[in-house]
Structures are given as C-alpha cells and as structure tokens.
A and B are shown apart, each in its own frame.
Chain A
Amino acid sequence: MLTGLAVIGVARFLQQRQDFENATARSYQVEIAARNRLAEGAAPGPTRAAIVAQKRERQRLRNDIDGETRDTALLVGAGLIAGLTGAALLFTGLIATMRRPLEELVDASGRLAGGDLQARVKVGGLSETAALGEAFNEMAGELQRRAGERDQLETMKDEFVLTASHELRSPLTSVQGFAELLMLERDKLSPAQADTVEIILDNTRHLVRLLNDLLDLARSDAGRLTIKPAPTDVASLIEDAVRTMRSQTEARGQSLDQRLDPGLPQVNVDRDRIRQVLVNLITNAHEYSPDRASIEVTATHRDGEVEMAVRDDGPGMAADQLEHIFDRFTRGDAGLTQHVGGTGLGLAISKSLVELHGGTIAAESVQGQGSTFRVRLPAIPAAAPTVDGPKSEAPVDISAHPQEETR
C-alpha cells in the first residue's frame, strides 16, 4: 500500500514537471515575441515591461516546481522505505518458514549418511520445502528397502553355507568311515586296490578340510566366528603346532626348527584357533616348498607384542601374488610342487582369526628366496598375575579335524 503511494507520488511529480516545462516554454515564446516586436520598432516601454513580466513568471514557476519536487521526493522516499521495510519483513518471515524444514533435512541427511536408514523428515510448510521433504523420504525409503534386501540375501547365503556344510558332512562321514574300514583290511586287498582306497581317503580328507574352511568363513561373515581367549603359553602353543606337522615335514625331508626368545610373555588367545593359524602357516610352508627345504618357526617379544613367524626357503612369491595372498581362493603357484593340497581359504581364515584376537598377520616374500608369515598378538603385560591354571593334558581329539575342537 505504501509502495502504491510512492508510485502515485512519482506519477504526480512527473505530471507537475511536464506542466512546468510547458508553462516555461510558453513564457519563453511570449518573451521572444516581445523581443521581436521591440526589434521591429514597437514602443519599447510596454514591451520591455512584458519581457520582465515573463522573467518573473518563470521564476515563480521554478519556485513552485522546486517545492513540489521536495514534497514528492519526501513522499517517494517515505513510500520506498515503507515498501522495503515491508519486503524485508516479508522475506524474514519467508526465511524463518523455510529454515526449520531445511535444517531438519540437513540433520536427516547426516543421519542417513551415518547409516541410520530410518531417518525421515516431517513434510510440511511451503510447497517447495514440502516437495523436497517428500523426495528425501522417498529416497531414504528406497535405500532402506534395498539394504533390507541385501541383508536378507547375505543371511540366506550364510544359512545356505552352514546348512550345506552340515548336509555334506553326513555322506562324507560314511565315505571316509568305510574307506578307513577297507584300509583296516589292507592285507586282503591287492596293492592296486589299496592305492585306490588311499586316493579315496586323501580326497575325502581334502573335502572335509574345504568344508571346515567354508564353514569358518561363513561363520566369520555371519559374525558367528567366536573365540574363547585364555592366557596361553607361547612356547607350548608353538611346540604343539610343530608336533602336529612334524611327521609330514619329515616325510619329505624338510627341516622344521623352532627358535623362541627366552622369557616370552603369555598371550590372551583361543589356544585351538591360534594353533589352527600356526598349523595352517606351517602347512603352507611345507606344501609350497620343495623336498629338503628348511622351515623355521620363531617367536619374539617386542613393544608389548609377541610375534610368531613361520619362514621357509621355498620358491617365494611375486609382488602381485603377495598383495592378494590373504584373499579367498588365492593360492600360490602350484606348478612348482605336486604336494599342494590347500583349499585357498586357509590364509583368509587365519587373517579373520588373528584379527578377532586384536592381532595382525603379514606376509613378506622375495621370489626365489622363500616367504615369511608374521603373526603379531598383544602380549599380556608381565606385571599382570598369570591366570594359567595347571597345564591340562591335551584335550582328547575325537573329531578327525582338530580345528573343530569340542568345547
């Protein structure tokens, strides 16, 4: 409304200005006509008086228009100020109306990005912010639906592996059991038949190992790979693993030595699981190295950690192979040896197990100069009282696969 006043003021000003221009022009015309007449010899007295009158008339007009201009300027100024104030007030209101929904959107986006897939905004306010809110909610809903589908697929995959490994285990038990039964009567078999049964047994054991590894990975993925840590003596752990592998390395003339720092602190680990890791590393060294190779297991203590390392002087690995050595189904180049019986899952499982203990596992290798695998585990501080009870006898191992210890 006040803005309207300003517009009217400006219009009036323009009209007055026009009137002033017209009146001034007429005054000049009268004056010029008088001057012409004077030049043509008219009586100078009245003519000069007319000229002076016109000059006065124009002065009056100018005074008038100045006053009008001042009034109009005041009017326009007031109008403009009022208009701007109104606009500012209106705009402030608008910003306030938009600000709350926008802040809510920013907040919800942050939560969504942070993984809260249930983040939604209240839809309302101006049509623009309401549309924005609706679009956001639609997007969040879609994200949540897809995440749900993905989780469901993951769960189905885990369940499938767990069920399949169970279902496969029963027939495998029969195959292995009856093959063992045949081997008990080996003297009644021809040498060729005995060899055949050996092959069945070897392959059955490999299948069982693969099944156990798959099961461990499925458990790991499902977050069900659990450990039961207890203070454990590093030397006895390594001796245990070395004893398990001794007959296999001796069969191929490989040396298997251990070199342990004196006074190693204990580690808080699930004994069976870390033994599984060590056996796996020694098995790899054994299988990938040629006959009469040297394998060494060492244990050192540094910076609050115990490092157990398995070193061999076998063929080693190229850098690109080393990079993926802890990935699933990655295996070293088996072309160099006929003895590789691994599943390609052992190192992936070892990594999961070591990390579950808060430790790290790493591999170093130079092609042609052997490989070293290092497992670092947090040591129990020496000051802490040892909770290790009297050393229990090695648990009776009833299963054919030691890593599935009964507990």
Chain B
Amino acid sequence: MTRVLIADDSETILLLMRTRLEMEGYEVVTAADGLEVIETMRTADPQPDILLLDAMMPRKSGIEALRELRAGGVKTPTLIVSAHQDQMDAGAATDVEVSGYVTKPIDFEALFTRIAELTRP
C-alpha cells in the first residue's frame, strides 16, 4: 500500500487530508511541522512513498525540511502544499528538487492523479 506523509500545522487540514487519502486507499502518516517531518523520515519503517508538505509551518517550514532531507540524500517525491502562489514564489528556492506544487483549497481528484503518477512503480 502506498504510504503518504502529510505535514500541516492545522489539525483540521490534517484530518481532512487523512480522511480523503484513506478513503482513496492510501496509508497516511502525519507531521505538524518540518522538525516532525525530519524525525519521521529518520525513524519510519517502511519509508513513506511520497511527501505532501505545507510550505509554511512553525519551527521549520516544509521547504526547509525538504532542503535538509535532500541534502541528506532523500529522493522521495515531494509535493509542496501552499496557500497561494506568492508564498511559493517567496518560499520556494530553486535549489530544492520539488515534484510539484498544490495550492489550497485542494482539488483532491487532481491530487490523487498526481500521487498515482509520482508513486507508480
């Protein structure tokens, strides 16, 4: 089963995403900020197949967490979730390898298609 790690500082958003993803048949792991993302990636077994990281989170943003993971050799496909374009323009550094961006409100049907493409064996 495909494992998805989702990170967002809003519990409501996490609940929404977890519910929709589980209904779609995905296994879901959650994180509340970038530090938890890094911790989960260090300990999780098996490793998540794809990461959905909110661009802006307290303590450590999704972008910062991804930069650290990439520096550590993690190649997991990652979608950055963001409230709007400007935030991505401001936050997204060109030096981080990102599989794509997702803007809020989330179009779940399109998101499922994207996850399926990125996790296709």
Contacts and interface: CB of A to CB of B under 8 A. Distances in A.
Interface of A: 162, 165-166, 169-170, 172-174, 176-178, 180-181, 184, 204, 208, 215, 219, 224, 396-401, 404, 406
Contacts, number: 84
Contacts of B110: 396-399
Interface of B: 10, 12-13, 16-17, 19-20, 23, 79, 83-88, 100-108, 110-111, 113-114, 117
A406 B81 CA distance: 11
Contacts of A169: 83-84, 104-105
Given A166-B83, A406-B100, A406-B101, A400 B106 contact: yes
A382 B23 CA distance: 52
B113 A180 contact: no
Contact of B86 (A177, A204, A219): A219
B101 A177 contact: no
A242 B92 CA distance: 33
Contacts of A401: 103, 105
Contacts of A404: 84-85, 103
Interface of B is mostly: helix
Contact of A170 (B10, B17, B102, B117): B10
Contacts of A406: 88, 100-103
A162 B85 CA distance: 10
A176 B102 CA distance: 15
A9 to B, nearest CB: 89
Nearest to A172: B105
29 contacts: A162-B86, A166-B83, A166-B86, A169-B83, A169-B84, A169-B104, A169-B105, A170-B13, A172-B104, A173-B16, A174-B16, A177-B106, A177-B108, A180-B108, A181-B19, A215-B86, A396-B117, A398-B79, A398-B101, A398-B102, A398-B103, A398-B111, A398-B114, A399-B103, A399-B105, A399-B110, A400-B106, A401-B103, A406-B100
A166 to B, nearest CB: 5
Contacts of A162: 86
Contacts of A181: 16, 19-20
- Which 3 interchain pairs have the tightest Cβ spacing? A399-B103, A406-B101, A177-B16
Given A174-B10, A174-B12, A174-B16, A165 B105 contact: no
A68 to B, nearest CB: 99
Contacts of A178: 16
Contacts of B111: 398
A264 B22 CA distance: 49
A176 B105 contact: yes
A396 B16 CA distance: 22
Nearest to A395: B100
Given A162-B86, A170-B83, A184 B23 contact: yes
Nearest to A403: B85
A165 B108 CA distance: 21
Nearest to B16: A177
B107 A397 contact: yes
B62 to A, nearest CB: 14
Contacts of B102: 398-399, 406
Contacts of A224: 86
Given A177-B13, A177-B16, A398-B79, 6 more contacts: A166-B83, A172-B105, A177-B20, A177-B106, A396-B113, A400-B105
Nearest to B117: A396
Nearest to B103: A399
A52 B117 CA distance: 146
B116 to A, nearest CB: 11
A107 to B, nearest CB: 42
B22 to A, nearest CB: 11
Contacts of A172: 104-105
A397 B102 CA distance: 9
A398 B100 contact: yes
A346 B88 CA distance: 23
Contacts of B13: 170, 173-174, 177
